[in-house]
Amino acid sequence: MNQHSLELHEDTFYEYFQPYRHPDTSMSCFGDLGLETFGKDRDLAYSLDPTFVWTVMDGTDNGRLYICTGLHVVNRVAYLVTKKSHYNLQVGFRCDGRPSSLTPLGLKRQINQLTRYLAAYGAGAMGAVP
């Protein structure tokens, strides 16, 4: 089955994947959830299971930030660690900036879209429950 990419709003990322501040982080960045892209934080990010690590990247062409699966080097702003795996899927989240956020109905729709995507290409396709 060919995997297609999926882009959703950052609210969906926070709600579904549940990023957290890793207890071994040495600095505070990206809303106190991020790992820095240098030094001990970078080393920590690279020591973790990469299917639970995300990179906040600068979109450069539109001034937006994006949360992308895995560890990236180019245009990186911070790394994030989540409670749920991304299964190395092509899913990204647009950071529109606050106070721009989804309505409860919009968030529910995007969570449903993400759940279907994971079932088709990720955890569900591998027999695991996302």
pLDDT tens for each residue of 17-66: 999 999 999 888 888 899 999 999 999 999 999 999 999 999 877 778 99
Contacts 24+ apart (CB under 8 A), 54-63: 54/13, 54/17, 54/19, 54/79, 54/80, 54/81, 54/82, 54/86, 55/79, 55/80, 56/30, 56/80, 56/95
Tokens 């990023």, residue located: 19
- The pLDDT value given to residue 112: 97
Which residues, listed in sequence order, are joined to residue 79 by a DSSP beta bridge?
Answer: 35, 55
Has residue 5 got a pLDDT over 50?
A: yes
Task: Indicate the pTM of the whole model.
Answer: 0.88
- Give the tens place of pLDDT for each residue, 57-100: 998 777 789 999 999 999 999 999 999 999 999 899 998 766 67
- The pLDDT value given to residue 129: 47
Has residue 130 got a pLDDT over 50?
A: no
For residue 115, give both structure tokens.
């759940």
